[in-house]
Amino acid sequence: MHRSLARAVLLLGGIGHVAVAAAPISGWVTNPGNGHQYALLDASSWVDAEVAAIRLGGHLATVRNQAEQDFIYQNFGSFAGPRLLWIGLHDNLAEGQYQWTSGETVAYTAWAAGEPNNGFGDEDFTALYYPGHSQQSLWNDWQHRSLDPIGLPFGGVVEIDPADSNVPPFSLDANSDWLTLTPAGDQTGQPIHSVGLAYEAAHPNWNSDPAFDTSTWQQAQLVTAEDIWGATPAGPVYFRHVFSVDQPLSDATLLATVDDDALIYINGQLVVSDANGRATGIGPLDITSYLTTGENLIAIKAQNAGGPASLGFHVFAVPEPSSGCLALIGLAGLLAERRRGGRAAARPSHG
């Protein structure tokens, strides 16, 4: 079984930008060499494509040999026009230490000449070049983006093993139950570490106490069906969401897209510090040790460098094997109102 398909997956997407909800644009194609099924996603960033792949019961594709490389390129490289193809290889956790999102060992690569070179300092995601490129079908490392410099789309290739495919059975999505506050007026464009300091000094438990007084906070505003923000695009903006894990988790992973900057806390501990002033994809990051059985708090300070702003949040969860059926409960504000924050996730048909 793919290692990460038997785990809880905590996905944060779209902080500071409107995340693309990638969806399949092709039918499912079976590779006769391994029996796995593949589909092409619509244009999106690498992180958004991996989120979509998990929702479908798989991951972005793992390439184990030349035959699988050829299969992916020949089936999807020219689908609905030339495009670059995201696969599951990344070094987003440690520069130069590439790993597959499936958890498999990196045993095969097909890098283009001179790649990977991390040319812009944050090229952490792998894609195949499009037909007609001088390095067509070979791999390059790319930044967090959904279009290449000449406007061609990046599409994720989803891989599912029908024998092991497992959509995590519960999800918790961002909605208007999240609470938000913009305490310092509009300081958009200023460094995240220099704004909101007076509020934080006066309210040191905003990011650690589930029972923190949020009487002056407001419900988040829906930006899209999956994304939220404050009442205006102003920054900095603070978010809080309290939820309960009723049974132990075997594993938990965080993915995020941040545009432009964000500090992400889980139960008072800083797990992500992004202050580079530009759109960035974060994760997959193991956060299992930060979550506990019982009440948990996600607290985020986000800053907008200008333009649209949004936060998308998704939890997909599976309990430890001995725990039976897991319930995730979303709690808003002071835990005065309990409501179910999860819904059953439907498995795709692979027929």
Residue intervals in the chain for CATH 2.60.120: 170-343
268-273 long-range CB contacts below 8 Å, 24 or more apart?
268/207, 268/208, 268/209, 268/297, 268/299
In the predicted model, what is the mean pLDDT of residues 295-304?
92
pLDDT of residue 21: 66
Q: Which residue has the higher pLDDT, 9 or 65?
A: 65
Q: Which fold has domain 21-160?
A: Mannose-Binding Protein A; Chain A (3.10.100)
Q: Which residue is it, tokens 């809080």?
A: 240
pTM: predicted TM-score of the whole model, two decimal places: 0.86
In the predicted model, what is the mean pLDDT of residues 5-26?
60
Q: Which fold has domain 170-343?
A: Jelly Rolls (2.60.120)
Give the confidence band of 16 by pLDDT, cuts at 50, 70, 90. very low
What's the rounded Cα separation, in Å, for the pair 142 and 13? 18
- N-to-C CA span, the chain: 20
Asked if residue 164 has a cis previous peptide bond (ω within 30° of 0), the answer is: no
Element (H, E) at 70: helix 66-76
Three-state secondary-structure class, residue 300: strand
Mean pLDDT of the chain: 83
Give the confidence band of 61 by pLDDT, cuts at 50, 70, 90. very high
pLDDT, tens digit, 9 for 90 and up, residues 102-121: 999 999 999 999 999 999 88
DSSP of 159-211: EE-TTT----SEEEE--TTSEEE-TT---TTS-GGGSSHHHHHH-TTTTT-TT
pLDDT of residue 326: 43
Residue intervals in the chain for CATH 3.10.100.10: 21-160
What's the rounded Cα separation, in Å, for the pair 271 and 253? 11
